[in-house]
Amino acid sequence: MLRTVFGKTLFEKRWMILIWTLAVFVTNLALVQIFPPMKEALSEMMTDLPESLAALFGNDSQALTSLKGYVSLEVFGQMSLAVVVFGIVFSSSVLAGEEKSGLLLTQLARPVSRVSFFIQKYLAYAAALVLVMVGFVLGTSLGTLMLGEVITPCELANGAVGITLLALGLGSLTFAIGAIFANGALAGALVGFYAVLGYFIASMSGAADILTTLGQLTPFHYYNEPDLMYNSFDIKNVLVLLGIVIVPLIAALPVFARRDLRTR
Amino acid sequence: MDTVISLKKLTKKFGQVEAVKNVNLEIKTGTIVGFLGPNGAGKSTTMNILMGFISATSGEARLFDQRVSVSNIKPHFDIGFLSSGMVLDKSLTARQEIEYFGHLARGYNKRHVEKLAERLSLDLDAKISKMSTGNHQKVALILALMKQPDLLILDEPTNGLDPLVKAEFNKIILETKARGATVFISSHVLSEINELCDEFVFIKKGRIVAKMTKEELGKQSGEVMTIQLGKNRKKIIELLEKQGVQYEITANDLEGTFMQFYEEKEVSDA
């Protein structure tokens, strides 16, 4: 593994990746397992809710009482934030963090171009995210199998690809801001704030028109909107998410390749 | 002799501060050039420009006749670089660290690395996080030397090294020169690199204030010979007086005592 920047990054972060993968696996498994005792309570709660509050759950208020609906809203909905947090933490440290510590200079004193370094670091982040998502999908699948129900691989893939694109996008933004300003903490804080705010705005977008409009400015809107667990991809939403992944990288790469590095 | 490093009217500004001002310098193949100046004189900034970490505000830097830029990595294939505050990955062992950087440099020679580690008394299987500053610096030295580069750029390389390892370091640098390589070495202490260098460049507040060969420096400062006075103390002094040589007797300095102690110990161990 210690032959390339990509391999070394994954090796160096192996414990972080392993712990997050296991944590997501166990959490998803546990979340699915609590569905049977929650089913009745959720069903009663949804019928008792006033219309205005039920609107907060959007069109999925009835879906909460089926396993598929519960997995879609609770597991894929709530846990997407955990995956996003992993993405922001990882991507803020992987390049800008190394520049701050001085390790970047030690590596760039070798014949490695900045472009190659940038790309390998981002690919390492993407690979780490995929590994965490493997834990996500396995935990969910195993949980539903233990309850005697099957969610098809296609349905799981729909949800998993959506979360992966969402976390890749916010990770790209963090990575790019860190690479431009040589400051991972600033990048993590800015994107973290944007992600949390965006998550709540997108979650409550059914409650008021202004929230619906603002929700469109958050990547969560493009992840939540198509009910990925049920439907095939809405190509427009996927393209928006892909744009959020690619545009920050394209903007940051030339800046990182030309600017003065942080020296001591 | 070919020119390995060429700086023409090199200037670097950080905001309003001019860290390097109009520097002109040529370094020929096979020489060891000392780059001297106090802290903040512009030594590291010049070396960072040469390494492509930062770009010059104006002027030109060339390595092996290729223009240096932040995007040109070609010269890096033939350079070994070391800086005094070089950061290493603390999660790795020295061996893992060296292997990784060896692969990045596309020139990892296990046998050569082990030989260097032996000469510098470095345990390659020790974790970087558990290492002293001196051992940390030894790993950084091996990283610079492992590929047997044509040019060594060393920014205060002996920081944290004990006198014994410094002596071994000096030997390695002289061997590097003997195989035809060029060494550009910075320090703020002349006595540390005096023995090594063929030429000296003095920089102050970003400007080069003097350039001279070792001979010229010797003439300016007067020649000094150190004689350890032992049992023949009286005879030696008589001889010096007879020859009309000016002399001064001083107590052995701490570094000399330290070296003497270890050298004797090594002999008795053997």
- Picking from B13, B49, B104, B110 by the largest number of A CB atoms within 10 A of its own CB, the best residue to mutate is B104
Look at phi and psi of residue B260 and say left if phi exceeds 0, alpha if psi is from -120 to 50, else beta: alpha
Residues on chain A touching B104 (C-beta within 8 angstroms): 4-5, 107, 110-112
- Picking from A110, A112, A113 by the largest number of B CB atoms within 10 A of its own CB, the best residue to mutate is A110
Q: What pLDDT tens digit does each residue of chain B (270 aa) get?
A: 599 999 999 999 999 999 999 999 999 999 999 999 888 889 999 999 999 999 999 999 999 989 998 888 888 888 999 987 789 988 899 999 999 999 998 877 889 999 999 999 999 999 999 998 888 889 999 999 998 899 999 999 888 788 888 888 999 999 999 999 999 999 988 888 888 899 999 998 999 988 988 888 877 766 667 777 877 888 888 888 888 787 878 776 666 655 555 555 444 444
The answer as to whether A263 is a domain residue is no
Residues on chain A touching B55 (C-beta within 8 angstroms): 258, 260
Interface check B88 vs A, CB under 8 A: yes
Q: Do A111 and B73 touch (CB under 8 A)?
A: yes
One-letter amino acid identity for A127?
Answer: A
Domain spans in chain B, listed from the N-terminal domain onward: 3-221, 233-269
Q: Do A112 and B83 touch (CB under 8 A)?
A: no
Interface check B100 vs A, CB under 8 A: yes
Interface check B40 vs A, CB under 8 A: no
DSSP strand pairing (B199-204 vs B32-36): parallel
DSSP-H helix ranges across chain A:
5-12, 14-33, 35-48, 51-54, 67-70, 79-92, 98-101, 103-108, 114-146, 153-181, 184-203, 209-215, 219-224, 235-258
Superfamily of domain B3-221: P-loop containing nucleotide triphosphate hydrolases (3.40.50.300)
Interface check B198 vs A, CB under 8 A: no
Nearest CA in chain A to B85: A264
**DSSP notation for A32-47:** HHTHHHHHHHHHHHHH
Quote the domain boundaries for residue A215.
5-258
- Picking from A1, A2, A15 by the largest number of B CB atoms within 10 A of its own CB, the best residue to mutate is A2
For residue A112, what are the CA distances in angstroms to A212, B106, B122, B136? 46, 10, 27, 23
Q: Which residues of chain A have pLDDT under 70?
A: 51-64, 224-233, 264
Count how many domains chain A has: 1
As a whole number of angstroms, the longest Cα–Cα distance in chain A is 66
Burial class of residue A59 in the structure, from the number of CB atoms within 10 Å of its CB (0-12 exposed, 13-18 middle, 19+ buried): exposed
The answer as to whether A216 is a domain residue is yes
Q: How far apart are CA A148 and CA B129, in angstroms?
A: 50
Assess contact for B126 and B93: CB atoms under 8 A: yes
Measuring CA to CA, which residue among B37, B32, B1 is closest to residue B19? B37
What's the pTM value of the predicted model, to 2 decimals? 0.84
The answer as to whether A264 is a domain residue is no
pLDDT score recorded for residue B191: 82
For residue B127, give how far its alpha carbon lies from the nearest alpha carbon of chain A (Å). Answer: 14
The answer as to whether A127 is a domain residue is yes
Interface check B51 vs A, CB under 8 A: yes
Q: Do A258 and B52 touch (CB under 8 A)?
A: no
Q: How far apart are CA B49 and CA B166, in angstroms?
A: 27
ipTM of the complex: 0.81
Q: Do A8 and B100 touch (CB under 8 A)?
A: yes
Q: How far apart are CA A11 and CA B251, in angstroms?
A: 54
The answer as to whether A117 is a domain residue is yes
pLDDT score recorded for residue B269: 46
